[in-house]
A and B are shown apart, each in its own frame.
Chain A
Amino acid sequence: MGLREKLIEYEETAGRRFSVTMTAESGEDAELIIENCRCVKSCDDNFIVLSVSGKDIRISGTPLVIENFGIGSLKIKGKIHSLTFEEN
């Protein structure tokens, strides 16, 4: 495999990979960081559905506030009740 093919493979792998990090403290709002996400499927005050490389991440909580930082990185703040992964 040539260098070019290797790079393409790395890019594809990186495009498929995503990470979800949740930080929570008792009595404080939780913070959910989702990396490599570029699509918000639906959202309202209590539900957010994000599409990440063939999977949907469903977040429920009150009230949810979205911020983005870097490239394809999202930060969701609020009292998070549940986090669900669904295959597309």
Chain B
Amino acid sequence: MKTEKTGLNFGLVGFSGLGGFQEKMLSELLDNEIRVYGVRFAEGKIYGAVSPFDYYRTAKTARKYGVKLRAEERHGLYFTLLKYRRRIGLYMGFLVFAAMLAVLQTRVQDISITGDVHKAQVLNILEDCGITVGAPTASLNISRAEQKLMLEVENCAWVDVSCVGFRVNVRVEKGIEKPEIEDKQPRNIVASRPAQIVRQIVRDGASVVNNGSGVNTGDLLVSGTVPDGRDKILFVRSDAEIIGEWTETQEFFVPFTENVSVADGNKKVFKWLILGDDEYPLFLGKAVSDNSLYVEETSLVRIFGQETSMLIKTGTFTEYTEKTITRSSEAAASELKKQKENFEQNFYSDYEIIDVVEKFYPAEDGIRLELEYTLQGDIAKPVIIEYDDTELPPVSIDNTDKTESQADS
């Protein structure tokens, strides 16, 4: 018959008892609350099983009632441990493992950052608060780190820093960006530079200049104070596009002989293995090289032609070397043209170039280029009208009052 055993069993000792008062022995075991499993009687013998911890009491009770008790099968955790009791190495290994686990748990081994935030920034803030890999977990100042993150991370809604085991979990959530609200403060529009007015598009406000007229920097172009037709003046937020024309002269010089830095020196190549968010350097020391051009590329790792989730990052430092170059007059002119194009792209992209006069002046050591630009562009510069709300409500001009007071006087 299958014996059903429930509960936490460290082991069982099967026994058989012969002769004596078996019923009395069983009654006493029941009375002493000793749990006996699978008791059966056959051929004048009693069979059963008890916990190894209760066997001594069972044997004592059996002796009391003249039952010859004999231990038979023994199985369970208690006996397994007893079997390996001389295997010191096994226990030592287990103890060392437990000790390592306990010791490693006392220091931070990993920092996990989640949320739409720059990890480097968060790591720097945590470092300032003493939370780094290797820091003791017992002395982490988590509330300080949370406060600092709230203050230093831009538009931070809430922060949660917690230490679970040896891992520090950081969660940073940002708030919803504020919508841009148009400023309604009244303003004038003035000239941002000296120019001649070519054309103007006034959306709001009153234009005070005519096309063709010349203006200087800061001159009023569009006024934000507008009469409303009922002898009152309204403050408005002027909005206009005032296109002016002006001339500018630029000079460039290219020498025939020049010392330049060219990245064609010694190359140093460093590789990293990328697994998820982690990078493992495949070299010793630091990936640093002075006065060098750094180029980085990433490629997938393939094993037997199959793509894996691993990446290899290759960083190449190429040292700059000083070189003396000599140009012909054609090459110098070409270099000047290149400089001119770069300049126009960088500084005149917002303007329309109406005309440009190029003048080349060859010299002994190089060529000088003089450029005279005629440019057109928006010269409108908004300026807020400042007034005191308490003293100056929208200005009211009442001619009737004035005439009456004049008549009175």
Using a CB–CB cutoff of 8 Å, the interface residues on chain A facing chain B are 29, 37-45, 63-69, 71-72, 74, 77-78
Contacts and interface: CB of A to CB of B under 8 A. Distances in A.
A67 B36 contact: yes
A14 B238 CA distance: 98
6 contacts: A38-B27, A44-B41, A64-B41, A65-B38, A67-B37, A68-B35
Interface in B1-57: 1, 3-4, 22-23, 26-27, 29-31, 33, 35-43, 48
A40 B37 contact: no
B33 A43 contact: no
A42 to B, nearest CB: 5
A60 to B, nearest CB: 13
B49 to A, nearest CB: 9
B26 A40 contact: yes
Interface residues of B, number: 21
**Binding site secondary structure of chain B:** mixed
A67 B39 contact: yes
B39 A66 contact: yes
A23 to B, nearest CB: 13
A24 to B, nearest CB: 15
A41 B36 CA distance: 17
A72 B41 contact: no
Given A43-B22, A77-B1, A67 B27 contact: no
Given A38-B31, A43-B23, A74-B30, A29 B1 contact: yes
A57 B20 CA distance: 23
A42 B1 CA distance: 22
A68 B30 contact: yes
The 5 A-B residue pairs with the shortest CB-CB distance in the complex, in nearest-first order: A66-B39, A65-B40, A39-B27, A44-B41, A40-B26
B27 A40 contact: yes
Contacts of B37: 67
Contact of A68 (B1, B36, B42): B36
Contacts of B1: 29, 63, 65, 77-78
A37 to B, nearest CB: 7
Contacts of A66: 26, 36, 38-40, 48
Counting chain B CB atoms within 10 Å of each CB, which of A41, A45, A68, A72 scores highest? A68
Nearest to B31: A38
B152 to A, nearest CB: 63
A66 B37 CA distance: 7
A39 B43 CA distance: 22
Contacts of A29: 1
Nearest to B49: A67
B41 A45 contact: yes
A54 to B, nearest CB: 16
